[in-house]
Amino acid sequence: GLALGLWRRQVALAAAREDEEEKELRQRFMAPPVSGLRELRRRRRELRSRMELLIMETQAEVCRALTALDPGASFAVDSWERKEGGGGISCVLQDGDVFEKAGVNVSVVSGLLSEEAARQMRSRGKSLKAKDGKLPFCAMGVSSVIHPKNPHVPTMHFNYRYFEIEEADGTKQWWFGGGTDLTPTYLNEEDAVHFHKTLKEACDKHDPKLYPKYKKWCDDYFYIKHRGERRGIGGIFFDDMDSPSKEEVFQFVKSCAKAVVPCYIPIVKKHCHDSFTPEEKLWQQLRRGRYVEFNLVYDRGTKFGLLTPGSRIESILMSLPLTARWEYMHTPLESSKEAEILEVLRNPKDWAH
């Protein structure tokens, strides 16, 4: 009887501990995770679960940091399901005093890769062996775009994701991708240095060769070919990262995700009360037009989302600003502040050294 009583007490204690843990996790996140807390806890040693917890934590961290700067505004939290498998949580703030539009999305989806998505991956050198034309996949990530009202506060984007594909013979291919980049309307060299140095520190913890490699990749990736300029002043960007080991890449991605708030929030704090003119606001609107052009014409994530059956269009197009402008043949005056940023967008600089 004594042994049974002890066992019952242990079971009750374990259950209470689990409930406590669940409550704590619930408070930490913006919404319950797509895979459910119990399932995540049950598989907590698996990388897929750890990645889902990381993207949930990153979403909550960023949303809280933004709300602290714009207390009059709040995030609409929208959990959605995808009938083909999985779902996501979209957190969007609109028309605040500081942020015109800020979105922080999490998605955890699974199912069968569409033919077009598989084609896009094969074009990047992936050899994917399908079974009866079917490729089961699992993809998850956190993605955010923040468009501030003030033209002296830059737009910021980040995205960190994990992908897994099961081939015909049962082998799994996996890789991570992601990045963080800054798109100022006006150039502030001190901000550019702070942003890049913070990202460089996160990369250097793992390997000093990573930052220069991923900084160049970012400059090359966010290139608007038809305009001959980059979308912004860059940051870091990488894809298809599958070595040295799953654990090491995960730790690297974690460091990058943890650098998002410290690389950006101090810049917002510094400039969100700067005064600006109608002309400066107009220039911001024109630069936003370029942002839209890049996202709709070139961005791989947007393309993948639009090609994935059952994907949620509202969440994919969350990256687009609330307002933007396209003027015919607009050219800034020589030696103006507007011409200064264009020069940097055409010829990227090394900010971290």
Task: Establish if 30 belongs to a structural domain.
Answer: no
| Total of domains in the chain | 1
CA-atom Rg of the chain in angstroms: 22
Q: Residue for token digits 């003119």?
A: 277
Which active-site residues does the annotation give?
A: 157
Q: How many angstroms separate the Cα of 159 from the Cα of each of 16, 28, 126, 151, 314?
A: 36, 20, 21, 23, 17
CB-based burial of residue 146 (10 Å sphere; 0-12 exposed, 13-18 middle, 19+ buried)?
buried
Lookup result for tokens 């703030």: 93
Q: What is the reported pLDDT for 116?
A: 73
Domain that holds residue 253: 45-346
pLDDT of residue 170: 77
pLDDT at residue number 173: 87
The answer to whether position 6 is within a domain reads no
Closest by alpha carbon to 268, among 75, 65, 95, 104? 65
DSSP letter, residue 333? P
Q: What pLDDT digit, counting tens, does each position of 109-165 carry? A: 998 887 777 777 777 777 777 766 778 899 999 999 999 999 999 999 999 999 998
117: closest CA among 92, 137, 89, 91? 137
Any domain includes 7: no
Q: Give the CA count within 13 Å in the CB-facing half-sphere of 69.
A: 25
SS3 content of the chain, % helix, strand, coil (to 5): 45, 25, 30
State the pTM of this model: 0.91
Question: Is the bond preceding 244 in cis, omega lying within 30 degrees of 0?
Answer: yes
- Report yes or no: 118 and 130 within 8 Å, Cβ to Cβ: yes
Q: Write the secondary structure of 5-26 as one string of H (helix), E (strand) and C (coil).
A: HHHHHHHHHHHHHHHHHHHHHH
The chain-wide mean pLDDT, for the chain, equals: 92
- Residue 343 makes CB contacts below 8 A (sequence gap 6+) with none
| Angle formed at CA 198 by CA 56 and CA 203, multiple of 5 degrees | 75
Q: Report pLDDT for 26.
A: 67
In the chain, which residues have pLDDT < 50?
none
- Residue 21 is predicted with a pLDDT of 67
**Residue 232 domain flag:** yes
Per-residue model confidence (pLDDT) at position 251: 98
Nearest Cα residue to 236 out of 325, 176, 303, 277: 176
- Residue 215: CATH number of its domain: 3.40.1500.10
Residue 252 lies in a domain: yes
Instruction: Please indicate, yes or no, if residue 21 is contained in any of the structural domains.
Output: no
Q: What is the pLDDT of residue 166?
A: 84
